[in-house]
Amino acid sequence: MKILVLIKMVLDTVEEIKIDPSGKKVDTDAARFILNDVDNHAVEEAILLKEKYGGHVTVLAVDAPEIDDALFTAAAKGADRIIKVTTGMEQMSTQTMAKLLHSAIQNMNTQFDLILTGVQASDDIDGEIGPSLAAQFNLPYIGMAVKVLPDPQGRSTEVVTELGGGLYASYRSSLPVIVGISAAEKPPRYVPIMKVRMAMKSKKIETIPAPAPPPGSKIDVLKLYKPVVTGGAAMITGTPEQIADNLVKIFRDRGLS
Amino acid sequence: MMDEQPKSTVQEDIERLFLLPEGQRVLSCIQCGTCAGTCPHGEYMEYTPRKIIAMLRAGQIDEVINSKSMLKCLSCYACQLKCPRGIKLTDVLLPIIKGKVFESIVEMPPDLQRSFENTLRYGNPMGESPKKRAEWTKNSKVPVRILKENPAPVDVLWIVECYPSYHPRGIDVTLATARTFHRLGIDFAILGEEERCIGDCAGYFGEFGLQEALIEYSLNIFRKYKFNRIVTSGSHAFNTFQRWYPRYDFNIPVHHAMPFIATYIDRLKPFLKKPLNYTVTYHDPCCLGRCVGVSLPECFYHQPRILLSSIPGIKVVEMVHHRENSICCGGGGGGMWLDTYFKAEGMERLSERVVKEAVAAGADVLAVSCDYEISRFEDAVKVLGLEEKIKVKDIMELIDESAGGDETL
């Protein structure tokens, strides 16, 4: 089985996020980037499938800061090919990325059976990359998947999804299919740093240029901004005892005790 | 995937070890079981160090690797210190086993996994921003020079380490340490956001790659600046500097902050004016005791007691387990992030055992000098509901308290 995993880097919120002076984008110089969490789960699911059923795993990403670390880590976990698509663009809409990935995948001339991706990214949270790509390829898409169970002949696959309210649903789809993973069957594994370092020496990240400059987005960013700070909160200061006394007084005054 | 290097099996590693003098010493084990008896987690191990040696001799190493017993090893050096045959258990044999357990582990305990991932990415196990590593200096009334901002040569490079940089109670100790350095007129500076975890638990857990990455990072930063010596607030960092860094051609003198301050005792005494009416018991940390004692002529057992008895009003009492018999707080060798795992295994928390001993000794202050212990013991005090009976304080805090804290600067 040939599996393709699409991953994306997102802003690492451990660092403070600053807005660029243009007021329309994030200041990327002050930011760090980290693999989108559910994309990490998509990589894990692909490696688990490879371990169970055999096969070949390719991990593909659009170039972004710190992407090499994420790709080498995927290789250390068991990915066979690691590829990045270079665009020279700092940011792009999900639709642009879907178009770009569509032509990049077409140019690879590989018939993938399964295309896995995280169900949504923590930056735009729109969850559109899977469905958009499925529309371009005219392939089925199943999102919120927690388990992928291909049949032994590799003609179709069962996909289990987790719905709201604690319900599970099970689907069967023909292959190829695009699946949006919300959680791998097991938590993403730890890979010893020695293995990542070995992967850095022994594996090569294949670089493919963006097939054609993707068309400009039809949507313009007007303004990017942080929530406006309002004066609604009163800060209680003092020693722990004074703070506690103050809290008790507030509770009493408002009839909470 | 990584097939280009022949994969050495643990059997081959062990056979190679047995050809060396250190390995032949392992073969000389008399199976007395002192290691298992002295190990604070021995009763919870399927394969204790004694059994591991017996299994190795019998060629049944796979069972040992698969049993996860070595996840419970805290690298506290109790077994190595007590072994009548002088077998280097903590230094040589157990790391080989732990490295293999680590390589073959299918699911890492999640807290430990997160701490390793955080340490690699952010340079600290809690996953805090490296840019905020020197935030504590904003609350310091004494000047703290950051080398990146002022790279002039300095006498002491102070490696603050992770918990003393980020943990709220660790920061209390760090501020007290800064004030003491200032009072003593020590010329010191820190690395600030350039500092990363010095690397200790990774290596003792068998994650040698992470350990190496951290050491290489720190050595590169050290090369940027001129300083005479390193003083660190991290007892684990101190141990790592002693044991691991020399392998990388590192030969700068390194001191732990507590014994370092003890060398200034005569200059310090005039500052210790305020009597502290505490009955104090001191917990000897592994990293300033047994770990040092097997490679340096002297462990740091008398320095903390000299410091404490120099503070007016303090009465020092001893716990049943002290000096070389001190019980590990449970934080070493990755244990800091295995509390949930140990609890799930039904194991007693060692930090609670120590706190109970401290109370039984009649102490109302448990004094520490290891950067993990403030948080571990304070947590244990709360779990045991003993907040009214005992407080946990670093020796640096007691010194600073007697010197008048912020007010006398």
B108 to A78: CB separation less than 8 angstroms, yes or no = no
In chain B, residues with a C-beta closer than 8 Å to the C-beta of A55 are none
d(CA A170, nearest CA chain B) in Å: 27
Percent of chain A with pLDDT over 90: 79
* pLDDT mean over A177-192: 96
Is the reported ipTM for this assembly greater than 0.90? Answer: no
Number of A:B CB contacts under 8 A?
50
Q: Search chain A and give the residue with CA nearest B122.
A: A14
Rounded to whole angstroms, the Cα distance separating A240 from A245 reads: 9
Task: Collapse the DSSP code of B26 into the 3-class scheme (helix H, G, I; strand E, B; otherwise coil) and give the result.
Answer: helix
Mean pLDDT of chain A: 93
CA-nearest residue to A48 within chain B is B106
Residue B1 has a pLDDT of: 41
Residues 221-280 of B with CB under 8 A from A: none
Considering only CB atoms, which chain A residues are within 8 Å of B213? Answer: 193, 197
Name the CA dihedral angle for B256, B257, B259, B263, rounded to a multiple of 10 degrees. 130
Does residue B8 belong to the interface with chain A, where contact is any CB pair within 8 Å?
no
Q: Taking CB atoms and an 8 Å cutoff, what residues of chain A touch B120?
A: 193
Helix, strand or coil, per DSSP, at residue B158:
strand
What are the C-alpha distances in Å from A180 to residues A104, B71, B145? 19, 35, 50
Confidence bin at A213 (pLDDT 50/70/90): low
Q: Is the pLDDT of residue A215 over 70?
A: no
A194–B122: do the CB atoms touch at under 8 Å? no
In three-state secondary structure terms, B300 is: coil
pLDDT band at A229 (very low <50, low <70, confident <90, very high): confident
Among chain A residues, the shortest Cα distance to B128 is held by A14
Q: Which residue has the tokens 């995927």?
A: A74
Q: Give pLDDT, residue B296.
A: 55
Chain A residues within 8 Å of chain B (Cβ atoms): 14-16, 34, 75-76, 78, 80, 186-187, 189-190, 192-199, 202
Chain A nearest-CA distance from B130, in A, is 8
Strands (E), B247-375: 254-256, 279-282, 315-317, 365-368
Check if B212 contacts A (Cβ < 8 Å): yes
Chain B residue numbers with beta carbons less than 8 Å from the beta carbon of A202 are: 2, 4
CB contact set of A235 (below 8 Å; sequence gap of 6+): none
Question: Alpha-carbon distance B121 to A190, whole Å?
Answer: 13
How much is the pLDDT for B6? 47
The answer to whether residue B163 neighbours chain A at the CB level (below 8 Å) is: no
Do residue A193 and residue B107 have CB atoms under 8 angstroms apart? Answer: no
CB atoms A80 and B122 under 8 Å = no
DSSP character for B172? H
- Name the residue in chain B with its Cα closest to that of A188: B107
Asked if B209's CB is within 8 angstroms of A195's CB, the reply is yes
The pLDDT tens digits for A81-136 are: 999 999 888 778 888 899 999 999 999 989 999 999 999 999 999 999 999 999 99
Per-residue tens of pLDDT for chain B, all 409 residues: 444 444 457 778 888 888 999 889 999 999 999 999 999 999 999 999 999 999 988 888 888 888 888 899 999 999 999 999 999 999 888 888 888 888 888 789 999 999 999 999 999 999 999 999 999 999 999 999 999 999 999 999 999 999 999 999 999 999 999 999 999 999 999 999 999 999 988 888 889 999 999 999 999 999 999 999 999 999 999 999 998 999 999 999 999 999 999 999 999 999 999 999 999 999 999 999 998 875 555 689 999 999 999 999 999 999 999 999 999 999 999 999 999 999 999 999 999 999 999 999 999 999 999 999 999 999 999 999 999 999 999 999 999 999 999 888 8
Identify which of A80, A186, A194 has the shortest CB distance to residue B208.
A194
> Are the beta carbons of B4 and A75 separated by less than 8 Å?
no
Whole-number Å distance between alpha carbons of B109 and B210: 17
- pLDDT given for residue A218 in this prediction: 75
Superfamily grouping for domain A2-209:
HUPs (3.40.50.620)
**Hey, are the CB atoms on A187 and B107 less than 8 Å from each other?**
yes
Chain A residue whose CA is closest to B109: A190
Which residue of B lies nearest to A17 if distances are taken between CA atoms? Answer: B129
- Minimum-distance CB partner of A202 among B2, B107, B210: B2
Angle between helices A67-77 and A193-202 (to 10 degrees): 100
B48 and B36 Cβ atoms separated by less than 8 Å: yes
- Cα A48 to its chain centre, rounded Å, is 18
Q: Is the C-alpha dihedral spanning B71, B77, B82, B87 positive or negative?
A: positive
Does A76 sit within 8 Å of B2, measured CB to CB? Answer: yes
Give me the residue from A15, A189, A192 closest to B207, CB to CB. A192
Cross-chain residue pair B110–A187, CB shorter than 8 Å: yes
A19 secondary structure, DSSP code:
B
Find the closest chain B residue to A14 by CA distance.
B129
Minimal-distance CA residue of chain A relative to B209: A194
Q: What do you get for the CA distance between the two ends of chain B, in Å?
A: 61
Shortest Cα–Cα distance, B86 to chain A (Å): 31
* Number of C-beta neighbours around residue B145 at 10 A: 17
Measured between beta carbons, which residues in chain B are less than 8 angstroms from residue A199? 1-2
CA distance A97 to A60: 12
> How many beta carbons lie within 10 A of that of residue B214, not counting itself?
23
Which ranges in chain A belong to alpha helices (H)? 37-53, 67-77, 94-107, 129-137, 193-202, 240-253
Domain boundaries defined on chain A = 2-209
**Cβ separation of A193 and B4 shorter than 8 Å?**
no
Question: What is the structure's pLDDT at B8?
Answer: 52
Kindly report the nearest CA distance between residue A190 and chain B, in angstroms: 6
Spell out which residues of chain A touch residue B208, defining contact as CB-CB under 8 Å. Answer: 194
